[in-house]
A and B are shown apart, each in its own frame.
Chain A
Amino acid sequence: MEIKENSFDRVSINLKPSHNIARPGMSFWQDAFRRFKQNNISMVCIIYLLILLLGSIVIPLISRFSISDQDLENTYAGFFTAGHWFGTDELGRDVLVRVWFGAGISLIIAVTAVLVDLLMGVAYGGIAGYFGGKTDTIMMRIVDIIIGIPYLIIVILLMIILKPGIITLIIAYAAVGWTGMARLVRGQIIQLKEQEFVLAAKVLGGSSSRIILRHLLPNALGIIIVNLTLTIPSAIFTEAFLSYIGLGVQIPLASLGTLASEGTGSFQMYPHLLLIPAAFICLTMLSFNLLGDGLRDVLDPRLRK
């Protein structure tokens, strides 16, 4: 390092203190998205789910077979026989189309679960958590009672009144499936409402709705999203299970559960009839679970490093 003529000359002092922020501004969501993209497993899951979504819409549309067409000359066909890529079942119905249709049903269930959780679970838990006191106690006791009633019982009771089918499943979920989310959101809100930034908004004169919508919910959103992606596999499995035992989706619609049920009978001779729908169920549940893990790593403020 050489010493020059002017090395020891005074540098003119900046009069304004430098409040520099070196890195570019990024909101919480942008930052989270960036880190999410770095997680390979999560990206694979997203791709899988996108394929599932596209497939379930496109394949039943473009296939020349519908889900109930019976190709009686080609029953129990193997892979790639007579235009049936995944073969056919005992009535000659094309397995490919039926499986993708069933995947679509599972996704519909997933969307329903999300909507119910959001509309009912978040709102209920948010109100109970925010108002506290007696309101909270009463609302949570109601939740405790609802949790005590098994989903299965509700479904069976509803089936006596309504016809069995996917609508019944949805109604049953709307009745009791949101309780987990409600409890979670309530806990989060209770914790958040004592934070100083919430107190500051109150002291500024903010109304309850402003505080809930602008301060509490956005900060609880991370946990809500993670919980949603983790309740979806459970909802999907429940539908598959109920359809498997005959309480869910009915003929002529096909769901992964009904397909699995039909495939069980001929498992010994034609294993693909059970294995294919089972594989779809497993992969889909696994994807949502891994996605949920990935999202939690990225959104949970406590894990941020």
Chain B
Amino acid sequence: MKNTILSVKDLEVSFDTYEGEIKAVRGVSFEANEGEVLAIVGESGCGKSVTAQTIMRLNPSPPARIKSGEIILDGLDIIGLEEKRMEAVRGSLVSMVFQDPMTSLNPTMPVGNQICEALTIHRRMGNGNAFKKAVELLDLVQIPNAGRRARQYPHQYSGGMRQRAMIAMALAYSPKLLILDEPTTALDATIQAQIFDLIKDIQKKTATSIILITHDLGIVAGLAQRIIIMYAGKIVENGTVDDIFYNSKHPYTWGLMKSIPRLDQNKTQALCPIEGMPPDLLAPPEGCAFADRCDYCMNICKEADPLFFDVNNGHKSACWLLHPKAPRLESICLGGI
């Protein structure tokens, strides 16, 4: 039985804009275990980035507002923590790597110095030692000539290297939890592959827990052990990687799987996108948020938000199709095939 490093319960986060309250996260609960890669998958606007930023209390507060819920990280109550203590937690206990490596690094400081900053803030290492450790970290993320590279500026690094530098900074304190927010989306295919291998490598070497946020099911298949699928601010399905790819029980997950052409897809068939658009989170619908895009929508789906139904060991899906009274579906398109 693995230890739980992070436990999120009933998290609700809203943004107060001049147009009204945008309910970005509407009751999300999940756990991350030690040494595991948990993927949070969903499209833009589903609330995955907001959830991740809330774990680190990075949301600008107005306009963001944590309405309710609980986040326990390594025994600490994150929501209730004062800002000063939260500063100590960020970077040391939990760390985050953002999507766009171009804008995450300070263009006026050499990369090595930026990593040092991370080191000296928390551990008050002397500058000499900090720089040595910075070079070691750059080495860990497989940047060649780490010693020379540490003195260079971000504009002298390529996109892939900058992302590695960000990962190095995030690992400076061997955090127990590393959050990667779309780490490869802004990178080229061949560089994505390199970062992918790097993440695998780091996980093996350091046993850090990783939360991987992405919309790319391919990356998830190769890296994650457990997956959470989010839609319109809620979790719709949650299970192991095999559960989700081979035994998925939610129409949205099926839709996602179907809309990606496989390399062996027949060209004369049209792709099966999910028609329509996600709901407006200013006024989320009463029932299931996916109801009006769902091929299997029933009356109850429009009236009430579905409960989580257990499929088996830890595999849960929020769909009325799983209610004992719901009709059986003979040929359901299973994910990944």
Contact = CB atoms under 8 A, between A and B. Distances in A.
Q: Do chains A and B touch in the complex (CB under 8 A)?
A: yes
Interface of A: 1, 3-4, 6-11, 13-14, 17-20, 22-23, 35, 38, 305
B300 A3 contact: yes
A35 B18 CA distance: 9
A305 B320 contact: no
Contacts of B297: 10-11, 13
18 contacts: A6-B299, A8-B299, A8-B325, A9-B299, A10-B327, A11-B298, A11-B301, A11-B302, A13-B297, A17-B293, A18-B277, A19-B276, A22-B280, A22-B283, A23-B19, A23-B282, A305-B18, A305-B63
A180 to B, nearest CB: 30
Query: Which 7 pairs across A and B sit closest by C-beta, in order of nearness?
Result: A17-B275, A7-B300, A17-B276, A11-B297, A1-B304, A22-B280, A8-B326
B320 to A, nearest CB: 7
Nearest to A17: B275
Interface string B288-300: 0001110111111
B17 interface: yes
A14 B275 CA distance: 10
A3 B325 contact: yes
B323 interface: yes
A9 B325 CA distance: 10
> A interface, by DSSP: helix, strand, loop or mixed?
loop
Contacts of B292: 14, 18
Contact of A9 (B277, B295, B298): B298
Contact of B276 (A9, A10, A11, A18): A18
A8 B276 contact: no
Contact of B327 (A8, A18, A20): A8
B17 A8 contact: no
Contacts of B300: 3, 7-8
A3 B277 CA distance: 28
A19 B297 CA distance: 18
A175 B19 CA distance: 45
Contacts of B275: 17
Contacts of B295: 13
A8 to B, nearest CB: 5
A157 to B, nearest CB: 46
A305 B17 contact: yes
Given A8-B299, A11-B298, A11-B301, 7 more contacts: A3-B300, A7-B298, A7-B303, A22-B283, A23-B19, A38-B18, A305-B17
A206 B327 CA distance: 58
Interface in B1-49: 17-19
A8 B298 contact: yes
Contact of B320 (A8, A19, A22, A23): A8
Contacts of B19: 23
A9 B303 CA distance: 12
Contacts of A13: 295, 297
Contacts of A20: 277
